[in-house]
């Protein structure tokens, strides 16, 4: 999700001072590191839902992706994802691609279970695409001067895009914090509030149900496979991150 304009601190009235005192350098550095970590984690499932697993993703996840958590659900799910991609050969990648197309796009037997990764499907009365949620997330992106990557042709309420949006907001918050002053701190605080609002209005309204469907649909290829574990990781992380942001803002 590339930005249409560069991230700048929100404007204030002429001569206005920030409404809160500046953070001390140690707290600011810790928060900046947390924002960087959040962005990196959001980018992982975003990539997984965007397109099929390839060698680059398998390599990154198994050997380069750094992650630590006190939540055993997250740790176990990520470990299982890594195990599923360890020593992946072309035949295994092909099978993962078959699962991707069957579960997310409905390709294959009509009786197969699916999990369509669009917010509109889970929040509209008719369970179809391009409904109110689509218009709402487009508006949310535009308010942040952001637009979906044009090379990705799925609608803006696709899960990959919503997760990428959260990653971008986390990157912005980190950037604001690195200015090292009260104005940057306040801009970061506003960005975190916007992140929580988006999670509450959108991700939390449908991701749990989608992940239950994904777990069930992909478990036809084995309950310990990559996509069932991705479902568990996604649901747990979105919930935990929203709780984290809520606690930060209390």
Q: What is the 3-state secondary structure (H, E, C) of 205-225?
A: HHHHHHHHHHHHHHHHHCCCC
Question: Does residue 75 fall inside a structural domain?
Answer: yes
pLDDT at 9: 43
pLDDT at 90: 95
- Total domains, the chain: 1
- How long, in residues, is the chain? 250
Instruction: Indicate the pLDDT class of residue 8, thresholds 50, 70 and 90.
Output: very low
**pLDDT of 115-152, one tens digit each?**
999 999 999 999 999 999 999 999 999 999 999 999 99
Question: Does residue 16 fall inside a structural domain?
Answer: no
Q: Please list the alpha-helical segments (H only) found in 51-118.
A: 55-59, 72-85, 90-105
Contact 120, 129 (CB under 8 A): yes
Rounded Cα distance between 248 and 250, Å, is 6
> In the chain, what percentage of residues exceed pLDDT 70?
90
Instruction: Indicate the pLDDT class of residue 114, thresholds 50, 70 and 90.
Output: very high
72-85 helix and 226-249 helix, angle to the nearest 10 degrees: 150
What value does the CA radius of gyration of the chain take, rounded to a whole number of Å?
A: 19
Contact 75, 69 (CB under 8 A): yes
Question: Does residue 6 fall inside a structural domain?
Answer: no
Question: Does residue 52 fall inside a structural domain?
Answer: yes
Question: Does residue 154 fall inside a structural domain?
Answer: yes
**pLDDT of 181-229, one tens digit each?**
999 999 999 999 999 999 999 999 999 999 999 999 999 766 569 999 9
Question: Does residue 18 fall inside a structural domain?
Answer: no
pLDDT at 6: 39
Question: Does residue 12 fall inside a structural domain?
Answer: no
Question: Does residue 50 fall inside a structural domain?
Answer: yes
pLDDT at 20: 61
Mean pLDDT of the chain: 91
Q: By residue range, what is the domain housing residue 226?
A: 25-249
Report the greatest alpha carbon distance in the chain: 65
Least confident of 4-13, 53-62, 89-98, 156-165: 4-13
pLDDT at 22: 83
Instruction: Flag whether pLDDT at 77 surpasses 80.
Output: yes
**pLDDT of 14-29, one tens digit each?**
344 555 678 999 999 9
Instruction: Flag whether pLDDT at 88 surpasses 50.
Output: yes
Measured CA to CA in angstroms, residue 25 lies from 57, 106, 112, 183, 193 at distances of 35, 51, 54, 14, 21
pLDDT at 1: 66
Measured CA to CA in angstroms, residue 5 lies from 25, 85, 140, 158, 183 at distances of 28, 37, 15, 22, 19
Q: Looking at residue 45, which CATH number applies to its domain?
A: 1.10.3480.10
Residue 67 CB coordination number (10 Å): 16
Contact 74, 241 (CB under 8 A): no
Angle at 187 between CA 185 and CA 188, to 5 degrees: 65
**pLDDT of 35-69, one tens digit each?**
999 999 999 999 999 999 999 999 999 999 999 99
Calculate mean pLDDT across residues 223-247. 94
């Amino acid at each position: 999700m590339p930005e249409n304009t560069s991230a700048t601190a929100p404007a204030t009235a002429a001569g206005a001072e920030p409404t809160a005192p500046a953070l001390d350098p140690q707290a600011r550095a810790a928060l900046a590191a947390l924002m960087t970590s959040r962005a990196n984690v959001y980018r992982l499932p975003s990539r997984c839902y965007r397109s099929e697993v390839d060698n680059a993703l398998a390599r990154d996840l198994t050997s380069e992706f750094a992650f630590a958590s006190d939540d055993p659900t997250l740790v176990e799910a990520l470990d299982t994802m890594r195990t599923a991609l360890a020593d992946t050969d072309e035949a295994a990648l092909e099978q993962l691609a078959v699962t991707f197309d069957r579960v997310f796009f409905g390709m294959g037997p009509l009786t197969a279970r699916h999990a369509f990764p669009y917010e509109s499907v889970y929040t509209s009365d008719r369970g179809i695409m391009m409904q109110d949620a689509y218009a709402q997330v487009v508006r949310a992106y535009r308010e942040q001067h952001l637009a979906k990557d044009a090379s990705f042709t799925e609608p803006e309420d696709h899960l990959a895009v919503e997760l990428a949006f959260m990653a971008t907001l986390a990157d912005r918050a980190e950037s604001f914090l690195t200015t090292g002053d009260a104005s940057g701190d306040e801009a970061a605080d506003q960005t975190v509030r916007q992140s929580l609002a988006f999670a509450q209005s959108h991700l939390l309204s449908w991701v749990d149900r989608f992940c239950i469907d994904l777990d069930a649909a992909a478990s036809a290829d084995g309950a310990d496979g990559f996509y069932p574990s991705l479902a568990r990781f996604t649901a747990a992380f979105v919930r935990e991150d929203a709780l984290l942001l809520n606690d930060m803002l209390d």
